[in-house]
């Protein structure tokens, strides 16, 4: 779909010869990211699906990436826009390293930079169609924050994007605590991911968990969760639902 | 004509491998009134001598706040110094906007040095005629840098620039080894003592110096005259006649007799380059 921006050329408002195109909706999207702070840093979970509209078209998309030495970025939303953001961040961290002076951008700096990028793009009416989660550890301090497509950003002890915001965060509010061990953290994330798998049609049963501590980032191999589909309501999900056809 | 053939523009080398215009710019730094800086593990103190251009004018500001965590003291062409400190302020605030964190001091200094370096390599430019002592605090601690018109920069524990700064440097060289562990108060005292060394005969008063401090939990700020005078009074003997008059301490700026004030302007004028205007 093309959205044409009229450009004012002096006295007459003409349609510009070079029509400018904007992203009006995303094409290939990733669904929720769930992340929590834990004892030694931050844990983040995401599945590997890429939906083409409502078709689950890609099944091996990594949506979590290490940024520099101290940060971990997760993204839901348009995959190509996420790749563009990764290019920006590659350049940013490369330039940061080129100073070669011992200073380095921490998670807080990256988070704020991303907020500026997202807000700047939305001001051009051409947003990057993502919700980003940024976790990290620097100088012994854990950091976890989120930025939305339109540049709203905040920090919290646990965050989730998309469906996760509705389904995972209530669980996190009940069960999260600050001094969680790695094992407890992973269990909690898996609980959230399982709920999402059952209830979010875009979620797939192939996920990764990423960990960032003072030592750096590790992203797990993809794996699946055990599921149980034998509940009676799963057998005939539309039973009792009065439809128009 | 037998004068130097190689000093008419910045980009011309002399056969001995020198760039005279750049060296002249560095001379301008020596002509400005003195500025000194010193640091401990947690604090940086910048101080300078205030010299009025004429009896009728006030003095020019030589120390500028760049941000809460960075300050700069200049010697040389004050006008160039102001342009550069404006540049530093803008770099610092842009960094805070983008990253919501303070700009590392070392990075600012490199950018400043690169800016000065460009002027030594373009035929249509002139080097900045100002030396800058950049003091700041960042993640890696307190720093003091000296930026030179040549585009060079150096990090120091303590340094002095400007006219008669050699005396202050000698003082600092004698004492710098203890600065790292110095308290904030001792640092300020040493700064003022170093300033005194540059005065040569003129009496040290709070009215002729500016002192600024920054450090851990202490954003950059200037010390007020009263505080400076109190420090001066701890080591400077108050001349006896004035002590008898009994107001030496209460009103340090106005009080002392005509003898003191007259001396100040007289000796000052000759040492300050007209360029400093």
**What SS3 state is found at A202?**
coil
Set out the domains of chain B in order of their start, with CATH numbers.
29-235 (3.60.20.10)
Give how far A116 is from chain B: nearest CA, Å. 6
Percent of chain B with pLDDT over 70: 85
CB–CB contact B110 A99 (8 Å): yes
Kindly provide the ipTM of the predicted complex, given to two decimals.
0.86
Residue A153 sits at the chain B interface (C-beta within 8 Å)? no
Set out the domains of chain A in order of their start, with CATH numbers.
28-224 (3.60.20.10)
CB–CB contact B97 A101 (8 Å): no
CB atoms within 10 A of CB A25: 9
Element counts in chain B: helices (H) and strands (E): 8, 10
CB–CB contact B98 A102 (8 Å): no
CB-CB: which of A99, A112, A139 is closest to B98? A112
The pLDDT tens digits of the residues spanning B80-100 come to 999 999 999 999 999 999 999
CB–CB contact A108 B101 (8 Å): yes
Residue A221 sits at the chain B interface (C-beta within 8 Å)? no
pLDDT tier for residue B201 given thresholds of 50, 70 and 90: confident
Report whether pLDDT(B270) > 60. Answer: no
CB–CB contact B100 A108 (8 Å): yes
CB-CB: which of B97, B100, B106 is closest to A103? B106
Residue A105: both structure tokens together: 């951008």
Residue B106 sits at the chain A interface (C-beta within 8 Å)? yes
Q: Active site includes A23?
A: yes
Residue A104 sits at the chain B interface (C-beta within 8 Å)? no
Catalytic-labelled residue, pool A23, A29, A131, A161:
A23
Chains A, B: CB contacts under 8 A, how many? Answer: 30
Distance, in Å, from the CA atom of A229 to the CA atom of B266, rounded to the nearest integer, reads 97
Lowest mean pLDDT among A50-64, B38-52, B65-79, B249-263: B249-263
Report whether pLDDT(B251) > 60. Answer: no
Please give the pLDDT value at position B252. Answer: 44
Q: How big is chain B, counted in residues?
A: 277
CB atoms within 10 A of CB A99: 13
Report whether pLDDT(B260) > 90. Answer: no
Residue A103 sits at the chain B interface (C-beta within 8 Å)? yes
Please give the pLDDT value at position B237. Answer: 73
CB–CB contact A109 B99 (8 Å): yes
The pLDDT tens digits of the residues spanning B107-117 come to 999 999 999 99
Please give the pLDDT value at position B269. Answer: 45
CB–CB contact A101 B106 (8 Å): yes
CB-CB: which of A99, A103, A113 is closest to B98? A113
Please give the pLDDT value at position A90. Answer: 98
| Residue B133 contacts residue B36 (beta carbons within 8 Å) | yes
Nearest to A147 by CA among A169, A130, A124: A130
CB–CB contact B100 A106 (8 Å): no
Considering only CB atoms, which chain A residues are within 8 Å of B99?
105, 108-109, 112-113
For chain B, the average pLDDT equals: 89
**What SS3 state is found at A118?**
helix
Considering only CB atoms, which chain B residues are within 8 Å of A109?
99-101
Considering only CB atoms, which chain A residues are within 8 Å of B137?
none
Q: Per-residue pLDDT averaged across B113-122, rounded?
A: 97
| Residue A41 contacts residue A216 (beta carbons within 8 Å) | no
Considering only CB atoms, which chain A residues are within 8 Å of B138?
103
Q: Who wins on pLDDT, B257 or A14?
A: A14
The pLDDT tens digits of the residues spanning A206-244 come to 999 999 999 999 999 999 999 999 988 788 877 777 777
- The pLDDT tens digits along chain A (245 residues) read 455 555 555 554 455 556 677 778 999 999 999 999 999 999 999 999 999 999 999 999 999 999 999 999 999 999 999 999 999 999 999 999 999 999 999 999 999 999 999 999 999 999 999 999 999 999 999 999 999 999 999 999 999 999 999 999 999 999 999 999 999 999 999 999 999 999 999 999 999 999 999 999 999 999 999 999 998 878 887 777 777 76
Please give the pLDDT value at position B50. Answer: 94
CB–CB contact A103 B100 (8 Å): no
Provide the sign of the torsion angle of the four alpha carbons B21, B22, B27, B33, taken in this order: positive
Give how far B128 is from chain A: nearest CA, Å. 24
Residue B146: both structure tokens together: 């000296």
Distance, in Å, from the CA atom of B74 to the CA atom of B29, rounded to the nearest integer, reads 9
Q: pTM for the complete prediction?
A: 0.86
> B83: which residues sit within 8 A by CB, 6+ positions away?
B128
Report whether pLDDT(B247) > 60. Answer: no
Please give the pLDDT value at position A233. Answer: 79
């Amino acid at each position: 779909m093309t959205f044409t921006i009229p450009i004012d050329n002096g006295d007459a408002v003409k349609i510009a010869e070079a029509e400018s195109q904007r992203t009006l909706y995303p094409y290939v999207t990733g669904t929720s990211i769930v992340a929590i702070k834990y004892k030694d840093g931050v844990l983040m979970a995401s599945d590997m699906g890429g939906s083409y509209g409502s078709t689950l078209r890609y099944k091996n998309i990594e949506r979590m990436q290490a940024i520099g030495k101290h940060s971990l970025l997760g993204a839901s939303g348009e995959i190509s826009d996420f790749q563009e953001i990764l290019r920006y961040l590659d350049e940013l961290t490369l330039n940061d390293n080129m100073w070669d002076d011992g200073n380095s951008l921490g998670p807080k700096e990256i988070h704020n930079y991303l907020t500026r990028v997202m807000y700047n793009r939305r001001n051009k009416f051409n947003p990057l169609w993502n919700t980003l989660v940024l976790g990290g550890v620097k100088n012994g301090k854990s950091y976890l924050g989120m930025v939305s497509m339109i540049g709203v950003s905040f920090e919290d002890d646990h965050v989730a994007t998309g469906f996760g915001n509705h389904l995972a965060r209530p669980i996190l509010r009940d069960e999260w605590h600050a001094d969680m061990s790695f094992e407890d953290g992973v269990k909690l994330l898996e609980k959230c991911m399982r709920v999402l798998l059952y209830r979010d049609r875009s979620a797939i049963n192939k996920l990764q968990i990423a960990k960032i501590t003072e030592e750096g980032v590790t992203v797990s191999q993809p794996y699946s969760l055990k599921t149980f589909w034998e509940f009676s309501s799963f057998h005939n999900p539309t039973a009792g639902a009065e439809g128009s056809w | 004509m037998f004068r130097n053939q190689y000093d008419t523009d910045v980009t011309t080398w002399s056969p001995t491998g020198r760039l005279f215009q750049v060296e002249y710019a560095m001379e301008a730094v020596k002509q400005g009134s003195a500025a000194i800086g010193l640091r401990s593990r947690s604090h940086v103190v910048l101080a300078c001598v205030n010299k009025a251009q004429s009896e009728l004018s006030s003095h020019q500001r030589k120390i500028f706040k760049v941000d809460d965590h960075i300050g700069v003291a200049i010697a040389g062409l004050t006008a160039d110094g102001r342009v550069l400190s404006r540049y530093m302020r803008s770099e610092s605030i842009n960094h805070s906007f983008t990253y919501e964190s303070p700009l590392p001091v070392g990075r600012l200094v490199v950018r400043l040095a690169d800016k000065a370096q460009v002027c030594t390599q373009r035929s249509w430019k002139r080097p900045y005629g100002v030396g800058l002592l950049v003091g700041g605090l960042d993640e890696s601690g307190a720093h003091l840098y000296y930026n030179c018109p040549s585009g060079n920069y150096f990090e120091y524990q303590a340094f002095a620039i400007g006219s008669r700064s050699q005396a202050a440097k000698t003082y600092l060289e004698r004492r710098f080894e203890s600065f790292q562990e110095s308290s904030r108060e001792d640092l300020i005292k040493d700064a003022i003592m170093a300033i005194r060394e540059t005065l040569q005969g003129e009496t040290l008063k709070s009215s002729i110096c500016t002192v600024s401090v920054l450090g851990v939990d202490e954003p950059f700020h200037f010390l007020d005259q009263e505080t400076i005078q109190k420090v001066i009074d701890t080591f400077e003997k108050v001349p006896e006649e004035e002590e008898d008059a009994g107001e030496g301490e209460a009103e340090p700026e106005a009080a002392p007799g005509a003898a003191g004030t007259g001396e100040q302007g007289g000796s000052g004028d000759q040492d300050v380059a007209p360029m400093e205007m």
